[in-house]
Amino acid sequence: MTAATAVIPARFAAERLPGKPLLDATGKTLIQHVWERVRLARNISRVLIATDDARVVEAVRGFRGEAVLTRADHPSGTDRIAEAAAAIDSPIVVNVQGDEPEVDPAAIEQLVELARVTDAPVATLACPFDRADPDDPARVKVVRDRAGYALYFSRARIPFPRGGAGAPLLHVGMYAFRREFLLGFPALEPTPLEKIEKLEQLRVLEHGHRIAVGLTAPGPGGIDTPDDYAAFVRRHAEECFGGS
């Protein structure tokens, strides 16, 4: 399998959950949980955490991870990992969200292999909706063409089931970039749809580039709110201690 470098963006000042990377009710910081899961992917040769805060760098070094301090004014996580990618020599750079402590290593492996075989400069994953609500704007939906390339991403429900029962796909917010394309991403002008939907992947599509979308199994998802984190802490306790 083609090896790749994973970059985990970890912004300290999350709007809905400030200090999110350093939450440690499980005995480990959230960012350490993510780092440990990513390291289990067999085709990831290096894991780098890109952050805007020295406290996160210190915590990462405390569990012997590798971290880089990036500018604090990046408009998106992709812009942040693009800065970090300047010091990376892997042909494929994977962006794994810093708030997904239960990310499936097999899904990361699947994504890297999709990036290896596709002619698109960006690859990502989607899955059927499981417990999540398709009408929730926090759950991003994607529609694909017949060849498996993204047609559109939206916070709205797409496709709209006007003619019958729809089957929306939940976007899994993990990307694999060809390094050369990632380095040029910050130079792409932010686009109208990107600004409207607040979805940075739309910048790629609006500039005429393709995104390959593979299908994977549903997972627990990310940590966006205090309730999400509390639920993760409970799942972690049950896994480690049988709920005791």
SS3 175: strand
SS3 88: coil
pLDDT of the residue at 170 = 95
Helix and strand numbers (H, E) in the chain are 8, 9
pLDDT of the residue at 130 = 85
| Closest alpha carbon to 114 in 89, 144, 141, 77 | 144
pTM, full prediction: 0.92
pLDDT of the residue at 1 = 52
pLDDT of the residue at 244 = 46
First to last CA, the chain: 40
Domain formed by 4-241, architecture: Alpha-Beta Complex (3.90)
pLDDT of the residue at 201 = 96
pLDDT of the residue at 242 = 67
Cα separation values, 126 from 116, 136, 168, 174, 240, Å: 17, 16, 10, 9, 29
pLDDT of the residue at 208 = 98
pLDDT of the residue at 82 = 92
The residue extents of the domains of the chain are: 4-241
Residues of the chain predicted below pLDDT 50: 244
**Distance of alpha carbon 171 from alpha carbon 218, whole angstroms:** 10
| Residue 22: exposure state from Cβ atoms within 10 A (0-12, 13-18, ≥19) | middle
CB-based contacts of 113, cutoff 8 Å, min separation 6: 1, 2, 43
